[in-house]
Amino acid sequence: MVTEAFAPAKINLTLHVTAQRPDGYHMLDSLVVFADVGDRLGFTPGPDMALDVTGPFAAGVPADDRNLVWRAARSAGWTGHIALEKNLPHGAGIGGGSSDAAAVLRHLGCADLETAESLGADVPVCLSAVPKRMQGIGEILTPLPGLPELDIVLVNPGGHVATPDVFDALSEKVNDQMDGLESWITRNGFVRWLASQRNDLQAPAVALVPQIADVLDALSGAELARMSGSGATCFGVYPDRMQAMAAAARIAQSNPGWWSVAARTISARPQAVS
């Protein structure tokens, strides 16, 4: 019997780098949400471990123990066949591999933080796939159930950004934390607050991959445009679903080869608009 799981895209709406530890790890303060687009996984129990990868972004994704999906299943003590449909670009700043691993742990009933941490710094925040404030090196997680849902467009130009290179290129390692996180009341107030925050990795990533600036320009009609994570995927926030879908289609038509998709962030609270 095949059972299925969904691994949503992870989006860093903000990413403040607040310090660097003596061991080299960077301290972060980030608002993380998840979208209704993502990878899909199918599970068939069996005596041996096997992984098949399909989908538009399957190329270059290992189908062995180098894949976090494989390692997550092993960590959960499970064997069988996993079919992974890669709908998200990998190495793109939206947590594809980490979200996949978290989906495996969640699906197999092994959703403990210690196991998640052993698989990677971004896996714990992906474990419950709900909005969180992520601090420290990713291990301090505060649920934020009251965030409004946002209609967004995700755009990736096809370029890969190596996360260590982006952090190395960051000139200032000590920056302010997020402030006034819950100072807003409405959906529009939340978007205005987001615009007052930042992604400290955006400037160094643009310097490494100038095409990211082209993506941000393509999203210039949005209420807010920003890079997610260490890039190269960027997001734009739009007033409603129809405008997001229109923008995604327009960007895709003007930029063949780019990945452009309309999505909605996942939240437990209905939107309030004023």
Give the largest CA-CA distance in the chain. Answer: 56
DSSP state, residue 219: T
95 is in an annotated binding site: yes
11 is in an annotated binding site: no
The span from the first CA to the last CA of the chain, in angstroms, equals: 48
In order of 17, 70, 74, 85, 257, the CA distances from 56 in angstroms are 33, 20, 26, 8, 12
Catalytic pick from 29, 39, 122, 151?
122
228 is in an annotated binding site: no
Q: Catalytic site residue 10?
A: yes
Question: How many CA atoms are closer than 13 Å to the CA of 146, on its beta-carbon side?
Answer: 8
Catalytic pick from 10, 39, 100, 200?
10
97 is in an annotated binding site: yes
Q: Catalytic site residue 173?
A: no
230 is in an annotated binding site: no
In order of 35, 90, 205, the CA distances from 265 in angstroms are 4, 19, 24
98 is in an annotated binding site: yes
131 is in an annotated binding site: no
Of 85, 161, 94, 78, nearest to 126 by C-alpha is 94
267 is in an annotated binding site: no
Residues that are catalytic: 10, 122
- Sequence ranges of the binding site: 89-99
- Sequence ranges of the binding site for ATP: 89-99
